[in-house]
Amino acid sequence: MKKTLKVLDLFAGGGGFSTGFLQANHPNLKFEITKAVEINQAASDTLRGHLGPEKVIQGDITNSNVKKEIFQSCGDIDVVIGGPPCQTFSLAGPARSGTKEMREKLKNDPRNTLYKHFIEIVDNLKPIFVVFENVEGMLSKKVDHGGIENKQVQVIELICDELESKGYSTKVEKSLSERFQVLNAADFGVPQHRKRIFIIANRLGIDSPRLEPTHGPEGCPYKTVGEIQHLPVRLPKISISKKLKNIDVITDNYNKSLSLFMRNIKELTDKENHFVIRQGLKKLYHKLNKEYNLIKDKKTYKFNNLSNFIELYNELVKEYGINTLGENQFLANHQSREHNFRDIIIFVGTKQGSNSSRFMNRDSEDYNEFLDSVYPYDRSKHRDTYVKQSWNKPSNTILAHMEKDGLKFIHPEQPRTLTPYEAQLLQSFPSDFTFCGGRNDQYRQIGNAVPPKLAKVIGESILYVYDKSKTTLSL
């Protein structure tokens, strides 16, 4: 029988860390989740569905009663995992006079209470291993340490100092100075580029395991967005309004806009392999094409014609059950959010793997004069508002921000952004994993999660160094 290491998951969210640890394989050892602590209602419901209601503590970790329940139920814990939201990444400015002063400033900042409570719980329970993850601060600015800013390095060094003061070793094997690792999920078989900071600490006095990439240029090929290519077509409900910014560009290019949309529906119909779904798409295209041919050359009432066309589209999608074809019990969260017609045109007009920064750049081979004129946002700020994924590349980082609009996560072929279920698979959650709450709750849980496949690799590395340390001590 395998020996069990008991795990406490703090700031558990939707359970990415827990899921990966439970998947970890070892001939002699395995993990068991004793408790998962989470404040959010929807995320707690998700955890209850997968771990069991008796294993979930829903509440604020700073609350004394919640903390008391943790201490009483987790006295024999072996591993604490978690990623406390860390204000320091956004607060830490350049040190005024050296790293030591900055660390003291950060340490005493009242806005860092969650981090302090994490350390307090670790100090009280004294687990053998601690895995600290931070999801913030991976900014695409000037960097000087494995993809993170110097000020962030100071913050992580502070956390390592705190863990070491409590008796933990944070030293990473094969290095004289490293105490944390910056891991890209894509390097470990997750179909998504996602850099995050991890500290693996232990009370055994041994070096922490260094995680070596298994995928990429030196290993197996990266997993890509193609991992979701098998899913049934889902079409969005479409809206249109005269108040929509740059909708006049759409109406001025009335025929071009309709043509782009119809071409996309035709391409979906021609590529669909599933017979029932293809038949539904054929009926949709046939009816829409009749209407398109009636109105495409009209010079007047263009906005009204577009409105009527979109209304017909919405009715037909519903009538033909397009968004329920191929459905099974696990696809309940595979539904598109509603999109406006201007964004739909940008979606279908953008090349696969490209973005708005490129289609507005006259020097880029992706430049598109029409899309450039449709782009509705302030160009002096972010120009890559729209990002279209590519089947043959990993996704960009799945973010909780998907609950807002999802414009950086446009489907490679379909006229919409990614569904929660697609985001779930790109985060490497199992296909039968169910998230509770509304669509926004699901996006938030998925975007904030540690990818289970990466968590599994981390968990396995801990099992192996623990087993090795016990073998060494017995000799």
Taking the C-alpha atoms of residue 107 and residue 101, their distance in angstroms, rounded to an integer, is 10
pLDDT at 305: 96
Place of tokens 């995050």: 196
Are the C-beta atoms of 286 and 319 separated by less than 8 Å? no
- What pLDDT band is residue 100 in, cutting at 50, 70 and 90? low
pLDDT at 92: 40
Q: Which two tokens stand for residue 355?
A: 């973005």
Least confident of 21-30, 317-326, 333-342, 409-418: 317-326
pLDDT at 152: 57
pLDDT at 84: 84
Q: Is 457 exposed, middle or buried (0-12, 13-18, 19+ CB in 10 A)?
A: buried
pLDDT digits (tens, 9 = 90+) for 194-248: 999 999 999 999 999 999 999 998 889 999 999 999 999 999 999 999 999 999 9
DSSP one-letter code for 325: T
pLDDT at 113: 67
DSSP secondary structure, 144-198, as one string: SBTTB-HHHHHHHHHHHHHHHHTT-B-PBTT-SS---EEEEGGGGT-SB--EEEE
pLDDT at 95: 39
pLDDT at 219: 84
Topology (CATH) of 3-223+451-474: Rossmann fold (3.40.50)
pLDDT digits (tens, 9 = 90+) for 461-474: 999 999 999 876 55
pLDDT digits (tens, 9 = 90+) for 253-269: 999 999 999 999 999 99
Mean pLDDT of 364-371: 97
Mean pLDDT of 400-417: 95
- What pLDDT band is residue 290 in, cutting at 50, 70 and 90? very high
DSSP one-letter code for 222: P
Element (H, E) at 82: strand 79-82
DSSP one-letter code for 87: T
Mean pLDDT of 340-361: 98
Q: Which two tokens stand for residue 179?
A: 């105490």
Mean pLDDT of 440-457: 97
Backbone φ and ψ of 160, nearest 5°: -60, -40
Q: Which two tokens stand for residue 266?
A: 């035709």
Residue 164: count of CB within 10 angstroms of its CB: 14
> Which are the contacts of 344, defined by CB distance < 8 A and separation ≥ 6?
236, 238, 261, 415, 416
pTM: 0.91
- Provide the mean pLDDT of the chain: 90
Q: Can you give the residue ranges of every domain in the chain?
A: 3-223+451-474, 233-326+336-418
Q: Which two tokens stand for residue 180?
A: 């944390």
- What pLDDT band is residue 190 in, cutting at 50, 70 and 90? very high
Mean pLDDT of 189-196: 96
Element (H, E) at 285: helix 275-295
> Which are the contacts of 278, defined by CB distance < 8 A and separation ≥ 6?
269, 272
Catalytic annotation, residues: 86
Are the C-beta atoms of 398 and 420 separated by less than 8 Å? no
pLDDT at 141: 32
Element (H, E) at 258: helix 254-271
pLDDT at 89: 47
- Decide if pLDDT at 54 tops 60: yes
Taking the C-alpha atoms of residue 127 and residue 102, their distance in angstroms, rounded to an integer, is 29
Q: Which two tokens stand for residue 280?
A: 């539904």
Taking the C-alpha atoms of residue 236 and residue 124, their distance in angstroms, rounded to an integer, is 50
Mean pLDDT of 180-197: 95
Least confident of 142-146, 190-194, 331-335, 441-445: 142-146
Amino acid at the residue 412 = P
More confident residue, 108 or 145: 108
Q: Coil, strand, or helix at residue 71?
A: helix
- What pLDDT band is residue 366 in, cutting at 50, 70 and 90? very high
Mean pLDDT of 36-59: 98
Amino acid at the residue 370 = F
pLDDT at 159: 87
Least confident of 52-56, 114-118, 420-424: 114-118
Measured on CA atoms in the order 118, 7, 187, 212, is the torsion positive or negative? positive
Backbone φ and ψ of 376, nearest 5°: -100, 0
Q: Coil, strand, or helix at residue 395?
A: strand
Mean pLDDT of 114-139: 84
Q: What is the number of residues in the chain?
A: 475
Half-sphere exposure of 10 toward its Cβ, with a 13 Å CA cutoff?
32
Q: Coil, strand, or helix at residue 430?
A: coil
- Decide if pLDDT at 98 tops 90: no
